Amino acid sequence: MSKPLIIVESPAKATTIKKYLKGEYEVLASAGHIKDLPEKSLAVDVDKDFKAKLRIVPAKRKIVDRLKKAAADADRVLLAPDPDREGEAIAWHIAQELSKVNNNIERILFNEITRSGVRRALESPRELNERMYESQLARRVLDRLVGYQISPLLWRKVQGRLSAGRVQSVALRLIVEREREIEAFDPREYWIVSAVLERKDAPSLTAFRAKLIKLGEKKAEVSDKEQSDTLISRLKATPFLVGDVERKDVQRFPARPFITSTLQQEASRRMRFSPARTMSVAQRLYEGMELGGRGRVGLITYMRTDSVRLSDEVLAAARSEIASRFGPQYVPPKPRIYKNKKQAQDAHEAIRPTTAELRPEEVKPFLKDDEFRLYRLIYQRFLACQMAPAVDVQTTVTVTADDAVFQASGSVEKFPGFRAIWNVDKPVRTAPDNGRSENGWAEGNEIPPGLTVGEELNLLDLLGEQNFTKPKPRFSEASLVRELEERGIGRPSTYASIVKTIQDKGYSEKREGRLRPSELGRIVNDLLVEHFSEIVDYDFTAHMEEDLDRIAEGEKGRLELLTEFYKGFKEALDKAAVDMKSMKTQAMPSGIACSLCGKEMLIRFGKNGPFLGCSGYPDCRNTSEFERDEKGKVTIRKPEEVGSCPKCGKPLLVRSGKFGRFIACSGFPDCDFKKTYTLPQQCPEEGCTGHMVEKRSRKGKRFFSCERYPDCKFSTSLKPLDQPCPQCGAPNLFLLNRRNARTAKCLRESCGYTGSVGESSSDTQIERTA
């Protein structure tokens, strides 16, 4: 007897669902998209209503054949890719192929991979949503038009292997413009004057600090040391009197439940996870984990969402868990309902645990460390958002000294509320019954109890502290995601890939957790802003996202959107092909004199990126690598010294060339000594004692091989990590792919270990210097 066929995206999800259904259904996986635009051509006919020439992905032909065979034997087919537009497109393409053998096809949505979640989905099948598919197709065509028509222009004008993207280029613009704001920022000096005070009748209590806020009727502004010293000298001789004391209870409310962007931001802030790592771990938690006797269980709901909605059933479960675990006083009178932003899609709930009963400590033995930490974060945020507010006792004291007004404020916790679970790793001070802390008000700037208006205080010290105004900080990966979200640029499913792509392409690099534009990123951004101002305009990109939403809602047509977009885009493209300057033939001034002939060094672009070359070329062939200081000024990058030349005794320097890094004598051209630059990681081949070297192929692609070539022929495109294989003891693992920099693999044929690893300093070094 034939059984219904369920098709999902991932094999892991298929395994979990199979266990729930116990043989009632056949469950297979498509392994992602089965159709896409071919890589080697534009594959969009702009003259025939932007027809997309979608083809079966060559690597998926066997999968498609297997799905067809299973569909032919099934009484009906249920398509269950992810519940978003991307998933709808996957379902649509599968239906196009399977309808040739079975017309009984329906769509089901799994918001969570649990027994009850799967059963609910099976009870509510629907037809495929053509509007959602049209919206996804419009996005795919837009991205292809921009990427495949601007990128070749950058290849011709700047250097090969560059890319432009409809959203990625806007993210790059944010990074470049922030960097230039920092470079142009002129710090202004200012001084903070503070008084360290204590009560005359209770000196045993710890002193507190009050900050100068007013002089006369004006806001206090102390601009230099002279003003600070003069003011301090004058006030030291005056009495310090309590002017006002205000104590009040202040409620602190919990944050909203997680959506994709806020999960990425909080995981970055608390655990230093990159957006890509967060999404990879969340995907595993969603698809299902083996939990011993419970079997395989999906632990969280779908993780690509911008909705903060929680169902009534879930709210009731959360309130019940809170009451039983913390007590009824931690449950607010009514469930807390959060409103979505205007542009949010409400197809799914917020990111939450699939059940409040599975506490993090119960599943910890079955999870890897990063899985447990992310699950705990999601679980805690979910319960916290439905808990009573925390209550702090906030005290504000004003102190007068002649015409100067000082202010001090402090707070202690009266009732923890949601902090009982959300701040478990960050203890907060509490207000004991006697009104004093255990350390006699020694922690922080706590205000002594019993202060009265008019009371004179002991002045222990008057301090002047020099400060300077600071520019906005550089974007971190998390703050860049937040900026994109606030501007309405991109979707939850694209944030992680956008952030990663602009780093993979060499447009920006991460230093000390912050994103800085590379010289290449600056040039590409400037060319795009000059010639494709509309494409990289923040408002235009946000409005495009809104138009894509309108297509999904049936308020706009795909052809209408693409026609409107392409008219202006084609005009800009044709004009740029003529007007865009070629960085290969033109150079930019650097403001640095050549160390050999005194002429100005110019910023030029070669196959390996930007460099400084003498304007006296070809008479003077001096070149140098360079960098920019905090003000954006070009400076010569001092090469790394690695010993002395065995031929002439001059310092050996690390240089970059067409085929990667190498070591050469600083006495070149008088001394031509050079040798291979080796990395600290050893070759993984058994019995080999050589180290890895980083090279570039004739086409400019980076790869890693053994320094003992040709005796050892090991080579790979995967980056070596400074971590041994836990399974076979090989000296190092290798990053498995570019989409997830946290998954690594052992390359010994006898092992094949694959697992999740932490970032290593060596890996970071490779990324920065490549």
Output DSSP code: residue 112.
B
Helix (H) or strand (E) holding 642: strand 641-644
Strand blocks (E) in 39-172: 44-45, 51-52, 55-56, 77-79, 105-107
Of 710, 663, 714, the closest CA to residue 692 belongs to 714
The separation between the first and the last C-alpha atoms of the chain, rounded to the nearest angstrom, is 59
302 is catalytic: yes
Do 541 and 166 form a contact (C-beta atoms < 8 A)? Answer: yes
Do 148 and 164 form a contact (C-beta atoms < 8 A)? Answer: no
Helix (H) or strand (E) holding 194: strand 189-199
Of 103, 97, 107, the closest CA to residue 64 belongs to 97
Return d(Cα 409, Cα 257) in angstroms, integer: 30
CB atoms within 10 A of CB 429: 16
User: What Cα–Cα distance (Å) separates residue 621 from each residue in 597, 624, 674?
Assistant: 10, 10, 19
36: alpha, beta or left? (left if phi > 0; alpha if psi -120 to 50)? beta
Cβ neighbours for 383, distance < 8 A, ≥ 6 positions apart = 318, 321, 322, 356, 421
Return d(Cα 239, Cα 407) in angstroms, integer: 15
Question: Position 390: which residue type?
Answer: A
Do 308 and 255 form a contact (C-beta atoms < 8 A)? Answer: no
Question: Cα angle vertex 133, ends 72, 344, to 5°?
Answer: 130
Question: Cα angle vertex 760, ends 755, 765, to 5°?
Answer: 130
Question: Position 411: which residue type?
Answer: S
Return d(Cα 125, Cα 8) in angstroms, integer: 14
Report the 3 state secondary structure along 299-362: CEECCCCCCCCCCHHHHHHHHHHHHHHHCHHHCCCCCCCCCCCCCCCCCCCCECECCCCCCHHH
Alpha helices for 22-60 (secondary structure H):
none
Provide the β-strand partners of residue 602: 589, 613
Tokens 């390359």 correspond to what residue?
A: 747
How far is C-alpha 602 from the chain's CA centre? 35
Largest Cα–Cα separation, the chain:
99
Cβ neighbours for 158, distance < 8 A, ≥ 6 positions apart = 520, 523, 524, 527, 582, 583, 584, 605
Do 675 and 691 form a contact (C-beta atoms < 8 A)? Answer: no
Do 269 and 361 form a contact (C-beta atoms < 8 A)? Answer: no
For residues 622, 657, 742 and 277, what is the CA-based torsion angle, rounded to 10 degrees?
Answer: 50
Catalytic residue among 20, 133, 286, 302: 302
Tokens of 27: 């469950």
Tokens 């993090």 correspond to what residue?
A: 360
Phi first, then psi: give them for residue 238, nearest 5 degrees: -105, 150
Of 446, 384, 386, the closest CA to residue 413 belongs to 446
Tokens of 173: 């613009």
In a 3-state reduction of DSSP, which class is residue 696? strand
Return d(Cα 234, Cα 250) in angstroms, integer: 37
Dihedral (CA of 55, 58, 60, 62) sign: positive
Which residues are known to be catalytic? 302
